[in-house]
Structure 1
Amino acid sequence: MKIMRRLLVASTVALSTVGLVAPAADAAVDPVLSAPYLYQWESPPNPVSVMQATGVKSFTLAFVLSNGNCNPQWDGQRSLTGADITRVNQIRAAGGDALPSIGGWSGNKLGSTCSSATALAGAYQKVINAGQFKAIDLDIENTDEFQNATVQDRILGAVKIIKQNNPGVRVVITIPTEVSGPETWGQRLIQRSKDLGANVDVWTLMPFDFSSGGDMPGKTKSAVTGLKNKLKSVFGLADDAAWRKSGLSSMNGHTDNAGEVVSVNDYRAIRDWARTVHLARLSFWALNRDCDGCAGVSQGQYEFTKITANYTG
């Protein structure tokens, strides 16, 4: 099976009413629901400016990696409490929120570097504490983590510990997929989460890198429906409950596969379908590519982000 890869290409109020107490800036923001990926290299756009231009309220910040041992850093090289957290605080001050994405395709992975579930949970905890995050995204797509039973179980064991120690923190797991839904390793991960008692809040598929093209809204719907059916079967859920544990993270414009394109109209159709089943998460890779010609398609500035911002579950 071809593992899906992220395309690492960048072409790139305060309340003043007298007598009222300002609520916490991020009190009403769901960091998981509609949060495009924003990576931090190659002059990323200013998220506050993007919020003002699009109405989006949350971002998935990529990526937290191992620095060579069981120690998390942004991109495996920047302090957890440096400029990246300053950016998170700026987002929150503007009325939004963010969640960190741990993993991705490239770089050293914490899941395969940490020696035990306890050690891995400790690494995840450092990330949560650094940003006081209310949710984390575990992007499990590299073969070192995804196609390895021992590492899968280690990750799920760490999730169980994190959920026990942080009852209010939500965990998203993001994985590759086939058109029919999660492939063998994805199905194993879901089943083992039940076996091990790891309470994953949202399962998200990356429905792209299927082929040389075709009906991307149709293929996305097929993949996520397969996910819903797997969750329904494993956890004994009703359809509605299974949909509400499912999510998707698309890829704007040209994907990693030659000829495969998610156009603006495709993504709008995907969003409109997601509304009908009330998916728990809608995202895409990546905001940095969301400009005219940056992802190989003609579009308005931040058009995919605007579509995401209008998703309310």
Structure 2
Amino acid sequence: MPKFSALATAVAVSVGVATASWTMPSSAASTNPVTIAPPTLPANWYGSAPYVTPLYGNPPDLPKVMAATGQKTFQLTFIQAPRGGGGCTPTWDGAVPVSTDTAVARIIDGVRLAGGDVSVSIGGYGGTNLGQTCGSAEATASAYQQVIDKYALRALDFNLEEPEYSDPVATRKEVRAAQILQRRNPGLYISVTTVAAPSGTTPQGQNLLNTAKSLHFTPNNYSIMPFNGFPDVRSQIAAIEAFHGVLMSTFGWDSATAFAHEGMSLMNGRSDFGEYYTQADFQTLLDYSISRGMSRYTFWSLNRDHPCTPPANGQTLGTCSSVPQHHWDFTRLTAQFAQRTSAMKVGVGVAPPARATHRR
């Protein structure tokens, strides 16, 4: 995802626990964890969670967004390595240690009190990520486990962008860490999002898929981000269909299995490249995703889901969409995805075909 106006060439892994039980960490008094137990939500709600940056500018009041749109889940960004010195300690945007955070914990409590839940997103464009600074995949996974434990998470998103996703060693640590977390936290729902290209994905994205295959790691979902370089819905759908072919050829899946493991992450309004994606475009892609049985439909970002007058210099803004809209128009569409797919058990219990070589 772009970090507001940054180029969105990214790789993400989303991890959700659909049915795990919750207990208060024993270190509650010292770590200021969340105090509200997460509700049990179907996996398709985590597949619909729009990205939101809770510590940026004037972030939206999430319970009010829930009441206005019906959306129940949100993807909070970003967990990175500490700025400057690096290290293997998870921090918000490289600045606020997870271990001492109280602000985001209060936001999560508010969402859960209103009946919703969150996923926490790792990475972000241009930052230094833990896969680059931790000494091993096991250490990387342990750092992310701290985030899961702190916030009693059922969902975790790896948003691996430049420069990390061009580093095969760091990419392998991140994918292996996701696999470790999947095994350590039974019931994890895992989505891997890679960069979109007219051919489906980039060489770096193909490397990520190949890495997952070599590790015998089977996530529930792979998504691409068809914006920045995709001028219209036709080109977006063409990339999604090309990626569908990549999934089948890489993993040996049939078409139905590939669609059940496939998703899209969009950008609302003006993109970094100057494309404009409207509510009608999002509606077309929503209908497409549901008709194909896809398991993820989300966008960057909720902070931008507002109307505004575009600046004269044509800049892409982090606080509004620059297209005519009402507040939360795009979020209402992600809520529709979860509501319209709730009976389909999206992304859950889809076994790879017998000829596939990887397994859980």
Q: Place the TM-score, normalised by the shorter chain, in its bin.
A: 0.7 to 0.9
Distance 1:123 1:224 in 2: 33
Alignment correspondent of 1:32:
46
Distance 1:310 1:248 in 2: 15
Alignment correspondent of 2:313:
none
Q: State yes or no: 1:207 paired with 2:221.
A: no
Alignment correspondent of 2:181:
162
Any idea what the Cα deviations from partners look like across 1:21-80, whole Å, max 9, x if unmatched? xxx762234342211001121010011000001110110111111112111112222232
Alignment correspondent of 2:26:
none
Pick one of 185, 195, 198 that aligns with 2:214: 195
Alignment correspondent of 1:14:
none
Q: State yes or no: 1:60 paired with 2:75.
A: yes
Map residues 162-311 of structure 1 onto 2, 5 A cutoff: 162-210=181-229, 214-215=231-232, 217-258=233-274, 260-293=275-308, 294-311=320-337
Q: State yes or no: 1:87 paired with 2:87.
A: no
| Contact 1:135-1:172 within 8 A present in 2 as well | no
| Fraction of identical pairs, as percent | 33
| Contact 1:25-1:94 within 8 A present in 2 as well | no
| Contact 2:51-2:76 within 8 A present in 1 as well | yes
Distance 1:8 1:122 in 2: 31
> Offset at 1:257?
0.3
Any idea what the Cα deviations from partners look like across 1:262-295, whole Å, max 9, x if unmatched? 1111111111111111211111110111111221
Map residues 45-194 of structure 1 onto 2, 5 A cutoff: 45-67=60-82, 68-80=86-98, 81-143=101-163, 145-194=164-213
| Contact 2:48-2:296 within 8 A present in 1 as well | yes
Deviates more, 1:229-238 or 1:91-100: 229-238
Distance 1:250 1:55 in 2: 19
Deviates more, 1:202-211 or 1:171-180: 171-180
- Point out where structure 1 has 5 or more consecutive residues left out of the alignment: 10-23
| Contact 1:175-1:204 within 8 A present in 2 as well | yes
Whichever residue aligns with residue 298 of structure 2, its letter is S
Any idea what the Cα deviations from partners look like across 1:9-29, whole Å, max 9, x if unmatched? 9xxxxxxxxxxxxxx762234
Q: What SS does structure 1 have at the residue aligned with 2:157?
A: strand
Any idea what the Cα deviations from partners look like across 1:178-217, whole Å, max 9, x if unmatched? 1231111101110110111223222121111115xx32x2
Q: What SS does structure 1 have at the residue aligned with 2:141?
A: helix
CA gap of 1:82–1:106, structure 2 versus 1, over 3 A, is farther
CA gap of 1:6–1:270, structure 2 versus 1, over 3 A, is farther
| Contact 1:62-1:101 within 8 A present in 2 as well | yes
Whichever residue aligns with residue 307 of structure 1, its letter is L
| Contact 2:38-2:152 within 8 A present in 1 as well | no
| Contact 1:59-1:97 within 8 A present in 2 as well | yes
Distance 1:152 1:79 in 2: 23
Q: What SS does structure 1 have at the residue aligned with 2:186?
A: coil
Whichever residue aligns with residue 227 of structure 1, its letter is F
Whichever residue aligns with residue 211 of structure 2, its letter is R
Whichever residue aligns with residue 50 of structure 2, its letter is P
Q: What SS does structure 1 have at the residue aligned with 2:241?
A: helix
Distance 1:208 1:267 in 2: 12
Deviates more, 1:85-94 or 1:58-67: 85-94
| Contact 1:58-1:98 within 8 A present in 2 as well | yes
| Contact 1:171-1:202 within 8 A present in 2 as well | yes
| Contact 2:89-2:97 within 8 A present in 1 as well | no
TM-score (norm 1): 0.88
Distance 1:196 1:189 in 2: 11
Alignment correspondent of 2:23:
none
> Offset at 1:120?
0.6
CA RMSD of aligned residues (A): 1.7
Distance 1:163 1:8 in 2: 32
Q: What SS does structure 1 have at the residue aligned with 2:97?
A: coil
Q: What SS does structure 2 have at the residue aligned with 1:173?
A: strand
| Contact 1:207-1:248 within 8 A present in 2 as well | yes
Distance 2:178 2:110 in 1: 28
> Offset at 1:218?
1.6
Distance 1:61 1:107 in 2: 16
